[in-house]
Structure 1
Amino acid sequence: MTVLTNMQTRDVEALLHPYTNAVTLRQTGAHVIESGEGVYVTDADGKRYIEGMAGLWCCGLGFGDAELVDAAKQQLDKLPYYHLFGGRSHEPAIELAERIKDLMPSMARVFYQSSGSEANETQIKLAWYYNNARGRPEKKKIISRVRGYHGVSIVSASLTGLPYNHKSFDLPVDRIHHTSNPHHWREAHEGESERDFSARLAAELEEMILAEGPDTVAAFIAEPVMGAGGVIVPPEGYFEAIMPVLHKYDVLCIADEVICGFARTGEWFGHQKLNMQPTSVSMAKQLTGGYAPLSAVAINQDMADAIEAHSGEIGIFGHGFTYGGHPMGCAVGVAALDIYKRRNILGHVQSIEAGFQRRIRSYADHPLVGEARGIGLLGALELSPGGKAMFDQPGKVGARLAAELVKHGVILRAIGDTLAFCPPMTITEDELEEMFAPIETALDATHHWAKAEGMM
C-alpha cells in the first residue's frame, strides 16, 4: 500500500480532482508537479519528465517562457483587471481580436471567455440569438458528433459525445443531437474506402437534419481533429462532403479549434488544414500558450450584423463573463501570437511533423496496438487485444501503459485505451527521440501484463 506524503494527504483532503477516480486517488495520491521548463516538468520528488501532452493540449510554447511571463507581469503592473461590459474596453483586448481576425479573414468579431467550455457554451447561445434575430425561433437544435469533445458546462457537456460526461449529470439536455463518429478504422464498413465512408456520414447527417426538420436545426459543431475523443483524424473527403449538406439547409458550421488552433495541425487552424468552412470558431488553450485562462469565439460578418442589430432592438446584448477579455490574458495572447510568428512555430511544426508521425506509425505492428494515427503534432496509439476488438475492462490497459511511461520519465495521456501525444510545439528532434525512446519498452511491459491478467 502506498504511503501518502504530507502534500498528497493535504491534496485528497482539500481538492476534488477533475477526470479522476477519487477512491483510487486516496490510495495512490496525486502526482504533484512543482516546476516546468521547456518541454519538461519536475515533480515534488525532483524527478523530471517530458510533458508529452503539453499539459492539457495547451502549453504549445512549453513551460517557463520568459516573454510570456514578462507580458503578464507588465500588464499586471499597468492594468491588472478591467472588463468589456457596457462599452468599456482596453488595448490588449482590441489588439488580440485584431490579430485573430488577421489569421482568419473570414471572421468579423471576437468575443472573449475564460475556457473552451465557455466558448462553446457561447457558440450555442449566439446560434440561438442569431436565429431569433432572423425571425426563426424554431431553428435551435444543435448537431454534434459521437466522441466529440466540446467541454463540461451544461450545454457544452451535452455537445460532448462521451458517456462519462453525461452519466449521472442528467445530460445531454434537449436540442442537442449526435451524428456519426468519423473514425474510419473503427466505424467503416468492410471494404469501405475513406471517401465512401465520408459520403455515407454526410448522408447520415442529411438524414438527421431531414428527420428533425431543417427549419429546427441551427448548427453543426465539430473539432477539425477530435482531441479528447481519441485524436481521431477525419477521413479523406470528410468536410468536403459535410459542408454542402450544411449549406443546403442553412445550418451554421462551428469549428471547435480549442485543441487544433494555432499551428498544432501544421496550419494556423485545423479547419484550414482539413477544408472545413466555419461560420464561427472557438479558440482557447494555445491562444495564450496555456499561460493564462482565456478563450475566444470569432463570428463571421453575417452573424455579427444580425446579432448587433438585434441587440439594438432589445436594448442590450445580455451575455458576458467577468473575466472575458481579462487584460492580462489578452496581453499574454498577443505575446503568444508574436512568438508563434517571430519564432516561426508553424514552420517548425511543418518541419518535424513527418518525423513525429513516422515514429507514431512505427508502433502500428506492435501486438498491443490496433491503430496508430495522427496529424501535425497530434498522435495516438489505440490499444486493442487484437484487430478492432476492445478490451473487456475499458481503460485499464491504457492507464497501465501511461503509468509505465511515467516510470521512464514521459507523461502522456490515456484516453480510455488510447494513448494520446500532444507535445509542446517547440520540441526538438532530440527531445522527440527522448519522448519516444521508452515507448516500445512500455508497450512490451504492458502487453506482458495484459496477457498475464487474461486480457489478451
Structure 2
Amino acid sequence: MTNQHQTTQLKELDALHHLHPFSDHTSLRAGGARVIVRGDGPYVWDSEGNRILDGMAGLWTANIGHSRRELAEAAYAQMLELPFYNTFFRTTHPPVVALSRKLAELAPDNLNQVFFGSSGSESNDTAIRLIRHYWVLKGEPKRRIIISRKSAYHGSTIAAASMSGMAHMHAHSYPLYEGFRHIMDPCWYGEGKDGESLADFGLRAARALEDEILAVGPENVAAFAAEPVQGAGGVKIPPETYWPEVQRIVDKYGILLLADEVITGFGRIGTWFASQHYGIRPHIITFAKAVTSGYIPLSGVIVDDEIVAALLAHDDDFHHGYTFSGHPVACAVALKNLEIMEEERLVPRVNEFTGPALAEVLAKFKDHPLVGEVRSIGLLGAIELVADKRTRRRFADPGRVGLICRDHFFREGFVMRAVFDTMVTSPPLIWTQEQFDEAEAAIGRALDLTLSDVAGEIAA
C-alpha cells in the first residue's frame, strides 16, 4: 500500500503525463484518478487501503480473478525459455501451436484456424480486412458493406469504431469510415413497443437486418457483425427468437457472420463461446480479454474452414499482421488460464451456480423506485435507472445519473460500470455466495443514495 503523500504524488504525476482512455480529461484531472495498487481473487485495493469488490472483472476480463500465481509462473517460465519471437516469415513456436489447437477444440466445429493479435480492436480490424479480402478472392469485390448494430462496441481503432454503433465514437472519426451500416439493437427495454411481446420484438429486430440487406443490395453486403450479447452498449440481451432468425437471414443471402466474442468468450454466459449457447454458426469469432484473464494482452480471430480454403486456393500473401501476433509469453499464459478454467469447472459453474446467483441478486431490486428493469444472462447483468418506471422515460442529460450511481458504488466498495444510465456488471467467474451477498448489500445502498440525490426527478 502507499501512504497519503505517495497517493497524492501518483495522482499529480498521472495528471501530468497519462492520457486515459474514454475520459473527460478536464474533470479527471480536477478530481484525480483512483490509484489501484493490488488485486487478489475477486477484490482489488486502492492506494488508500480500501478493499473493493470487483464487479467488472477488471474490464469484462479477469475471469479467474486477480493474482493467480500459476499464471505468473507460466509467464516466468516462458520468458526464460523464449521471451519473444515473431510468427512472420514461415516461423512458429510451441506455445502458439498449442494454443491454436486448444482454441480450435473449444470453438464451434467449423472454426479451426486462429490469427492472433493483442487487443479486441485489433481482432475486429483483422476480421474486417479478412472479410473483404475473402470476397475479393471469391470474385465478388463489390461485397464490402458490413452491417452491425446501434450500441454495438467492436473496438476503438478507426475501422473497429466505424463498425461499432456508438455515435459518440463516430464523432471522433472525421468522418465515419465508408462501408458500414447500423441497424436497431435487440434490446426490448430500449426499442420495444408497448404491448409487443419479447418473441415478436426479437423477430422484428432480426428482420431489420434483412431490410438493410435489401436496401443496399445483397450483392454489396459482405457480413453481419454482432456481439451475441451486447456488452459495452449496456448488456443488451436478445430475445430467444432473435438469433435463429438472424441465422436464417444470413444463410438466405449468403453473407458472412462475424461473432464478436471479446466480452462473451471464455465462459461468460456458461459456454466457452456464446455462439454455442445461441446455436449460431459464425464464420469468424473475434476474442480477447478473458483468454488470458487479462494477465497479459492477447487477442485473436478464429476462422471458418471455408474462408481458410479461399486463402489456400490463392498463392499470394494476406498482407496483414502484428509484431506481437502469437506472442509466446501471452500464449503460455492463455494456455495456463484455460487449464485452470477447465480444472475448476468455471464454465459449467456459471450455469450451475454463479449465473443464477447473479440473477437472484439483481431481481431483488426490480421494484426499487429508481429501477426500470434488471436483466442478466450468465455473469452479465444490467440495472436500468429511469425517471419514470411506467413509461420507461430516461433522465435528462443521459449519463449524469449513471455517474452519480457509479460513484456511490465505488464509495460502497463495489465496482459497477455506468453505460449512460445503465449500471452493468461482469463479475469474475470465481465468485462465491460471500461475494454475491456483498454485492447485494452494496447495490441496495448505492441505489438508495442515488435515489436520495435525484428524488425530485422521479415520477410519482
TM-score interval for Structure 1 and Structure 2 normalised by the shorter chain? over 0.9
Aligned partner of 1:277 among 277, 281, 284: 281
The C-alpha deviation readout for 1:289-321, integer Å capped at 9, x for no partner, is 1111000101111000102323x1x3x221100
Distance in 1 (alpha carbons) for counterparts of 2:437 and 2:349 = 16
- How far has the Cα of 1:228 moved from its partner? 0.2
Aligned residue type for 2:348: G
Question: Aligned to 1:86, what secondary structure does the other structure show?
Answer: coil
The answer to whether structure 1 residue 393 and structure 2 residue 397 are counterparts is yes
The answer for the alignment partner of 2:106 in structure 1 is: 103
Counterpart residue type for residue 196 of structure 2? E
Equivalent pair of 1:369/1:381 in contact (CA under 8 Å): yes
Structure 1 position 423, deviation (Å): 0.9
- Cα distance in structure 1, aligned partners of 2:431 and 2:175: 39
Other-structure match for 2:19: 16
Aligned residue identity for 1:378: L
Query: Does 2:39 match 1:36?
Result: yes
Cα distance, 1:171–1:224 mapped onto 2, change above 3 Å: farther
Give the match for residue 411 of structure 1. Answer: 415
State the partner residue of 1:343: 344
Distance in 2 between the 1:115 and 1:171 partners? 23
**Residues 261 and 283 in structure 1, CA contact (< 8 A), matched pair in contact too:** yes
Contact 1:110–1:297 (CA<8 Å) still a contact in 2?
yes
- Report the Cα offset of residue 202 of structure 1: 2.6
Q: Give yes or no for contact 2:370–2:458 (8 Å, CA) kept in 1.
A: no
Provide the TM-score with structure 1 as the length reference. 0.97
Alpha-carbon separation, structure 1, partners of 2:309 and 2:143: 18
The CA distance in 2 between the partners of 1:403 and 1:305, in whole Å, is: 51
3-state SS, counterpart of residue 225 of structure 2:
strand
Q: Does 1:89 align with 2:95?
A: no
176, 188, 204: which one aligns with 1:172: 176
Letter aligned with residue 346 of structure 2: I
SS in structure 1 at match of 2:89: helix
Q: 1:146 aligns with which of 138, 147, 150?
A: 150
Displacement of 1:434: 1.1
Matched, 1:61 2:64: yes
Q: Distance in 1 between matches of 2:407 and 2:175?
A: 31
- Equivalent residues of 1:107, 1:298 under 8 A apart: yes
Paired residue secondary structure (1:440)? helix
Cα separation, 2, equivalents of 1:191 and 1:236: 18
The 3-state SS of whatever aligns with 2:215 is: helix
Match of 1:300 among 298, 304, 315: 304
> 1:122-145: per-residue Cα shift (whole Å, max 9, x none)?
111000110011000101100000
Q: CA deviation at 1:421?
A: 0.8
* Alpha-carbon distance in 1 for matches of 2:175, 2:292: 31
Amino acid aligned to 2:97? I
User: Is residue 5 from structure 1 mapped to residue 8 from structure 2 by the alignment?
Assistant: yes
CA gap 1:95/1:159 in 2 versus in 1, 3 angstroms? same
Aligned to 1:384: 386
Question: Residue 26 of structure 1 aligns with which residue?
Answer: 29
Shift of 1:455: 6.6
Query: Which of the residues 359, 362, 365 maps onto 1:363?
Result: 365
Deviation, 1:190, is 2.1
C-alpha distance in 2 between matches for 1:431 and 1:245: 42
CA distance in 1, matches of 2:360, 2:60: 20
2:237–2:376 Cα contact (<8 Å) kept: yes
Give the conservation status (yes or no) of the 8 Å contact 2:388–2:458: no
One-letter amino acid matched to 1:356: L
TM-score by length of 2: 0.96
Q: Which aligned pairs between 1:190-339 and structure 2 lie closer than 5 A?
A: 190-310=194-314, 312=315, 314=316, 316-339=317-340
On the 8 A contact 2:268/2:380 being kept in 1, the answer is: yes
Query: What code does the residue aligned with 2:94 have?
Result: E
AA in 2 matched with 1:350: N
Counterparts of 1:132 and 1:393 in 2: how far apart (Å)? 45
Q: Deviations over 1:220-278 (max 9, x none)?
A: 01101100000011112100011111111111000001000111101111111122221
1:171 to partner: Cα distance: 4.3
Partner residue, 1:50: 53
Inter-partner Cα distance in structure 2 for 1:288 and 1:77: 19
CA distance in 2, matches of 1:219, 1:202: 14
Tell me the C-alpha RMSD between the 2 structures.
Answer: 1.4
Deviations 1:380-419 (A, max 9, x none): 1011001311111111111111111111111111111111
Q: Which amino acid aligns with 2:239?
A: P
Q: Which runs of 5+ in 1 are unaligned?
A: none
Unaligned runs of 5+ in 2: none
User: Which amino acid in 2 is paired with 1:384?
Assistant: V
Q: Does 1:123 align with 2:127?
A: yes
Distance 1:321 1:204, change over 3 A: same
Q: Is the 8 A contact 2:154 2:260 kept in 1?
A: yes
Supply the AA of the counterpart residue of 2:89.
G
- 1-side partners of 2:172 and 2:64: how far apart? 37
Distance in 1 (CA, whole Å) between partners of 2:331 and 2:313 is 27
Letter in 2 for 1:415: V
* Total equivalences in the alignment: 451
2: CA distance, partners of 1:360 / 1:308: 49
1:154 and 1:171 in contact (8 A); partners too: no
Give 3-state SS (helix, strand or coil) of 1:443's partner.
helix
Contact 2:358–2:376, Cα closer than 8 Å, also in 1: no
Specify the code of the residue in structure 1 equivalent to 2:377.
I
Q: In structure 2, how many angstroms separate the alpha carbons of the residues matched to 1:26 and 1:45?
A: 18
